[in-house]
């Protein structure tokens, strides 16, 4: 496929920053949006803006149909068995909090254990800390090594009848490590534990089939999949979701309400109180259709080439240290320049029109493991090209010359 043609699908990529052509290397934080997504959002607001599930008028029916069609698009995209197993949320964080606050509150008791990994995003740490503190349960972690890989040889010793759930990122947002989630899911299920997979960093880069994986829950955010912000997905197995209490109370999540008793709605509406992010769901649907048109074969090939070239380029610069060199790794590279603070490097790069991420990337335990305050992180999508990597090298050399004593 023609990269130049693909780049023209993304309006933001054609602008200048500080008088320089934009080089966008921060897709792990949020992806850019193709024109079809922008147009879908504009079309909703300009042609059929209306609330859903409640109106008999034409606008409401149109909006309802488009929103529920988006649910089916998501279902097919991740291989779920039923559309009602797709719960729309505000994002990955909202999805994980929903599970922790509903399933967790119902199923975790004093002395029980929740198992996560040492490389989790804060959104897959803090919700479990909260429920463990509330219930008197214990939060345990799967350790990692200097390569940024999980130490799974001791997984059997970490799992026991006390383990109620394992919550694990598919791909590390700060290291790029692709975790062997199939192995973890199998071992967790053998011990009677459920598994939640944080797919925020994987869903835009690799095909997902939740039934084939066997995951009990799978969470992701629309804005990391070329869709709008404020929309996310929680997949849950039908049997598990049916047993969970509601997360929030309000409109649409009920069948009937009296002052004496409320009867809750069926899936998925039981977990979607109030007016949802209608346009977010519609925009996400358009983003998924765009990704399907591009195809994961091309996406994987392009991003692998970019990751390989960028890694070789960075290793050619004296003083660069890369954090996270797992054998199985996505197109995310965290690094530092010796003697230079990542924030200072990122500031110089921004002046040159190069957008990177700096800091702890919401993975402070990872930074503590490597005994650093943070890193510079570059993350690629299929709309990046080799010229972006060449520009990054020039920018890093400029930062070295300006900041080195």
pLDDT tens track, the chain, 405 positions: 899 999 999 999 999 999 999 999 999 999 999 999 999 999 999 999 999 998 899 999 999 999 999 999 999 999 999 999 999 999 999 999 999 999 999 999 999 999 999 999 999 999 999 999 999 999 999 999 999 999 999 999 999 999 999 999 999 999 999 999 999 999 999 999 999 999 999 999 999 999 999 999 999 999 999 999 999 999 999 999 999 999 999 999 988 998 999 998 999 999 999 999 999 999 999 999 999 999 999 999 999 999 999 999 999 999 999 999 999 999 999 999 999 999 999 999 999 999 999 999 999 999 999 999 999 999 999 999 999 999 999 999 999 999 986
Residues 340, 372, single domain; the answer is yes
Question: Closest Cα partner for 26 from 388, 373, 390, 270?
Answer: 388
Give the residue numbers spanning the domain of 353.
3-30+295-403
Residues 15, 146, single domain; the answer is no
Q: Is 362 a catalytic residue?
A: yes
Residues 174, 52, single domain; the answer is yes
Residues 269, 304, single domain; the answer is no
| Backbone dihedral angles phi then psi of residue 369, each to the nearest 5 degrees | -60, -40
Which tokens sit at 330? Answer: 């996505």
Residues 118, 142, single domain; the answer is yes
CATH code: domain of residue 325: 3.90.1150.10
Domain count, the chain: 2
The reported pTM is 0.97
Residues 349, 305, single domain; the answer is yes
Residues 374, 326, single domain; the answer is yes
Contact partners, residue 233, CB within 8 Å, separation at least 6: 74, 78, 86, 87, 88, 89, 95, 218, 219, 220, 221, 222, 284
Residues 136, 284, single domain; the answer is yes
Residues 310, 356, single domain; the answer is yes
* Vertex 119: Cα angle to 214 and 303 (nearest 5): 75
Q: What pLDDT shows up at residue 405?
A: 64
Question: Closest Cα partner for 92 from 182, 30, 165, 10?
Answer: 30
CATH code: domain of residue 102: 3.40.640.10
Single out the residue in 292, 319, 349 at which a domain terminates: 292
Task: Report the C-alpha gap between 179 and 324 in whole angstroms.
Answer: 12
Q: Single out the catalytic residue among 362, 365, 372, 398.
A: 362
Residues 160, 246, single domain; the answer is yes
Q: What pLDDT shows up at residue 27?
A: 98
Question: Closest Cα partner for 309 from 86, 25, 94?
Answer: 25
Single out the residue in 259, 292, 325 at which a domain terminates: 292
Residues 221, 178, single domain; the answer is yes
Single out the residue in 265, 292, 319 at which a domain terminates: 292
Residues 250, 368, single domain; the answer is no
**Do 148 and 326 form a contact (C-beta atoms < 8 A)?**
yes
């Amino acid at each position: 496929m023609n990269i130049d043609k693909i780049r023209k699908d993304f309006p933001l990529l054609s602008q200048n920053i500080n008088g320089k052509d934009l080089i966008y290397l921060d897709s792990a934080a949020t992806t850019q949006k193709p024109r079809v997504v922008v147009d879908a959002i504009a079309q909703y607001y300009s042609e059929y803006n209306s609330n859903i599930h409640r109106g008999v008028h034409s606008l409401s029916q149109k909006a309802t149909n488009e929103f529920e069609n988006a649910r089916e698009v998501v279902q097919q995209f991740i291989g779920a068995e039923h559309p009602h197993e797709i719960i729309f949320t505000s994002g990955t964080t909202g999805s994980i909090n929903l599970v922790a606050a509903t399933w967790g509150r119902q199923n975790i008791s004093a002395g029980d254990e929740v198992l996560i990994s040492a490389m989790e995003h804060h959104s897959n740490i803090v919700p479990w800390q909260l429920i463990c503190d509330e219930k008197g349960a214990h939060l345990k972690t799967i350790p990692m090594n200097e390569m940024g890989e999980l130490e799974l040889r001791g997984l059997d010793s970490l799992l026991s009848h006390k383990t109620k759930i394992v919550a694990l990122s598919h791909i590390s947002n700060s290291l790029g490590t692709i975790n062997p989630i199939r192995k973890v899911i199998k071992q967790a299920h053998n011990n009677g534990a459920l598994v939640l997979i944080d797919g925020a960093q994987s869903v835009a880069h690799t095909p997902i089939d939740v039934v084939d994986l066997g995951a009990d829950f799978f969470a992701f955010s629309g804005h990391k999949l070329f869709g709008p912000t404020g929309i996310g997905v929680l997949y849950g197995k039908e049997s598990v979701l049916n047993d969970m209490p509601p997360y929030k109370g309000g409109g649409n999540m009920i069948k009937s309400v009296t002052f004496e008793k409320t009867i809750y709605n069926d899936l998925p509406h039981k977990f979607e109180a109030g007016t949802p992010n209608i346009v977010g769901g519609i925009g996400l649907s358009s983003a998924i259709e765009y990704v399907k048109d591009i195809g994961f074969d091309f996406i994987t090939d392009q991003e692998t080439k970019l990751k390989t070239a960028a890694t070789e380029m960075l290793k050619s610069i004296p003083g660069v240290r890369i954090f996270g060199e797992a054998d199985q790794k996505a197109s995310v590279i965290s690094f530092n320049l010796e003697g230079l603070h990542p924030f200072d490097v990122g500031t110089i790069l921004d002046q040159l029109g190069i957008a990177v991420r700096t800091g702890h990337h919401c993975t402070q335990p990872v930074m503590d493991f490597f005994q650093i305050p943070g890193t510079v992180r570059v993350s690629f999508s299929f709309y990046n090209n080799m010229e972006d990597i060449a520009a990054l090298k020039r920018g890093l050399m400029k930062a070295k010359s300006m900041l080195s004593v």
